[in-house]
Every structure is written in C-alpha cells, then in structure tokens.
C-alpha cells in the first residue's frame, strides 16, 4: 500500500482522503486577502480566553470541533490525532485538545508542523494503521511574540525581513476511501510525502527566518522531485509555508542551482495571507498556523473546485528557541512535504 522512494519519500498507492477541514483565524488574518475564506474570524484575538496561550488552545479546539462537525463525525471516530504548535512544551496543543480524548502523538517541527502532522496522519491511514486521523496545528501572534521575541509592550521596530506570526489554527480530517464514502465527496487526497532533514546554513538572525529556512525547503523540494522523478511542471503549485518575500527569493535561487526552475509555480503561504503593502507585516506571515490555515481555506478550495490538480505543500520550520538564540546558536531549518491531489481522475 505504501512504496518507499529514494531518500525519505513515500508514495501511497491507496491515497488517504482529506474529508474535511476547518480554519479559525484572528482579526488581522480576517482583514487580509484570504479573509472571506476562513471558517471563523475571531471578533478579537482573545477568543474569549484569559491568556494568549489559552486563546491559541481555543483555535485548535474550535478547528477540530468544526472539522468533525462538517463531516458529521465525533471524536471517538478518530483513531489518532497528530498535533503540535510553536510554544515551549507545545502547551497550545496539550490544553486545546485534551478534552477530545483521542489517542495523540505530540509533534514539534516549528512552523513545519502542519506538514509533519499531515505526513504522519496520511502515512498512518495509507499503511492501514488507522481508518481516520486528524492533523491539527496553530500559532498565535501574541503567544509567539511572548515566547520568542520582545514583549509586545516595547513597540520595537522590526526589520523588513521579519515576519508576522499568524493567529490561526486549522484541522484536517483524513480517512480511508471506505470511510470517506459515507461522508461525501472528499476535498482532496494525499498521494505521497517527503520527510525533511535538518539543514543548517549557520544563519543566526532570528529576524530573518526566511533565509534560515530556505535551504531546508530547497533540500526538501529537490529531494522530492528526484525521489518521485518529476519536474516542477508536474505541479500546479509548489507551496512553502512561511518563507516570506526574502526567503522566496533565496529559495528560487537555491533550487535553480540544483537544476530546477520553480519560479513559475512557487507560492508561499506567508506571502498569500497578508497584504504586505497595507498590513505592515514585513516579509509576510509565519507560524505553524500560517501554512495550516492557508492550505485549509485557500489551497484545498482550489483543489476541490478542480482549479489545481496537484500541489506540493511544504511548510517550513526554524528550529530555534529563546535559549538557543541567547546562547548564540544558529537557526537550523526543516521542511516537510506532502503531495495533495484533486480526487478527480487525472
């Protein structure tokens, strides 16, 4: 059912379906170019909670509840939950998801977590280890700023290369063909995956995450194309998570050096989600939630409506912490890729 390809890729002969998805975002994301596509846009960024961390937890909880509801499924129908977030000890996921009582694998892949969770959730279904799984992730601007950067009150200036952490959470419900049949037409299928390696170019500027993550995205995309023996033209889009404008330029150049031109098919969720001209978001959006809500609300819609036949979805993560930064360490990157296809016959 699963074919091992090259260096860390898997091709699913019976591809799991994405049967349902839901996205919940904050006010700034609601005002952006994709604003009308999200399932829920919060009235403010507290989401009725006392702390930023609880607010982030509620993004995950609401996204899971909605995704299950859209598919008319209950938590006990889900065999495994794959989830993670950016916070230390991934507390947004632990506290957001505990009440569902679904057997859970906690993940940490920084902003690549959406790709990591979709990869493992789809592998588990494709390999016959589960009939139905959930992949969930989130980020919150304020909890991330509190965790990683200066306190919000300081009003520090940001360099142009800095990105803006997306307030958003998304959930993806995956299932076998058999289980999907009872739910209705699936949105898409996950036909394969390529798992990321940590790539460290020694970049130490935590305000330039795009540059730190681009080499990992390049490694993933090139390995993926080689493993699947494909060209960039075989994809309607190759979509990174949150490289932003600075990272996009580096990525396209790095991939070109490896013999592939992705300039005409590359898009970045961080660039898609905000209007960089008017929203003051620097190089673009970032955070686990950035790729997750953009996939949920925009790309899956395009695929389910038949506008895209196949995309390579590559969320990118920067594997640093406040401690590693303070201790002068570099910012290694990682990226995880999944192949998402239309359910229409090719």
> Where on the chain is the footprint of a second copy (CB under 8 A)?
1-2, 4, 7-8, 10, 50-51, 53-54, 79-80, 84, 86-91, 94-95, 97-98, 101-110, 116, 119-120, 123-124, 127-131, 146-147, 194-200, 319-324, 327, 329, 332, 334
Closest CA to 61 of 27, 99, 29: 99
Q: At closest approach, how far in Å is the CB of 276 from a second copy?
A: 27
Indicate the residue among 245 and 330 with the shorter CB distance to a second copy: 330
Q: At closest approach, how far in Å is the CB of 344 from a second copy?
A: 27
Q: At closest approach, how far in Å is the CB of 236 from a second copy?
A: 25
Q: At closest approach, how far in Å is the CB of 70 from a second copy?
A: 23
Q: At closest approach, how far in Å is the CB of 1 from a second copy?
A: 7
Packing angle between helix 209-227 and helix 244-257, nearest 10 degrees?
40
Q: At closest approach, how far in Å is the CB of 80 from a second copy?
A: 6
Indicate the residue among 122 and 248 with the shorter CB distance to a second copy: 122
- Which residues are bridge partners to 173 per DSSP? 20, 134
Distance of CA 211 to the CA centre of its chain: 18
Q: Which helix H or strand E contains 173, and what residues bound it?
A: strand 168-175
CA distances from 58 to 62, 96, 97, 117, 235 (A): 6, 6, 9, 19, 35
Rg (CA), the chain: 18
Give the SS3 label for residue 249: helix
The span from the CA of 161 to the CA of 247, in Å, is 9
Indicate the residue among 199 and 262 with the shorter CB distance to a second copy: 199
Give the SS3 label for residue 56: helix
Indicate the residue among 86 and 271 with the shorter CB distance to a second copy: 86
Indicate the residue among 128 and 184 with the shorter CB distance to a second copy: 128
The span from the CA of 311 to the CA of 266, in Å, is 10
Indicate the residue among 32 and 317 with the shorter CB distance to a second copy: 317
- Pairing of β 80-85 and β 164-165: unpaired
């Amino acid at each position: 059912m699963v074919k091992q390809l090259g260096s860390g890729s898997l091709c699913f002969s019976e591809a799991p379906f994405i049967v349902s998805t839901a996205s919940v975002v904050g006010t700034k994301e609601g005002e952006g170019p994709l604003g009308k596509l999200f399932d829920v846009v919060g009235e403010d960024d507290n989401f009725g909670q006392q702390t930023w961390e609880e607010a982030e937890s509620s993004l995950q909880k609401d996204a899971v509840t909605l995704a299950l509801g859209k598919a008319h499924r209950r938590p006990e129908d889900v065999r495994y939950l794959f989830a993670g977030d950016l916070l230390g000890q991934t507390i947004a996921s632990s506290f957001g998801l505990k009440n569902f009582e679904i057997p859970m694998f906690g993940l940490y892949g920084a902003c690549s977590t959406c790709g990591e969770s979709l990869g493992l959730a789809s592998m588990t279904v494709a390999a016959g280890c589960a009939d139905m799984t959930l992949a969930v992730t989130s980020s919150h601007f304020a909890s991330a700023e509190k965790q990683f950067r200066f306190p919000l009150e300081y009003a520090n200036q940001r360099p142009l290369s800095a990105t803006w952490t997306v307030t958003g959470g998304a959930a993806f419900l995956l299932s076998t063909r058999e289980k999907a049949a009872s739910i209705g037409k699936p949105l898409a299928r996950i036909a394969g995956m390529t798992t990321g390696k940590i790539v460290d170019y020694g970049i130490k500027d935590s305000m330039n995450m795009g540059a730190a993550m681009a080499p990992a995205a390049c490694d993933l995309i090139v390995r993926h194309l080689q493993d699947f023996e494909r060209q960039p033209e075989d994809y309607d889009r190759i979509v990174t998570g949150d490289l932003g404008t600075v990272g996009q330029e580096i990525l396209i150049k790095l991939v070109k050096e490896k013999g592939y031109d992705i300039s005409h098919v590359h898009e970045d969720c961080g660039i898609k989600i905000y209007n960089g001209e008017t929203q003051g978001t620097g190089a673009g959006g970032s955070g686990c939630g950035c790729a997750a809500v953009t996939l949920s609300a925009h790309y899956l819609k395009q695929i389910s409506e038949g506008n895209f036949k196949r995309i390579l979805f590559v969320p990118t993560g920067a594997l640093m912490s406040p401690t590693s930064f303070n201790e002068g360490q570099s910012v290694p990157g990682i990226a995880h890729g999944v192949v998402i296809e239309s359910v229409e016959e090719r």
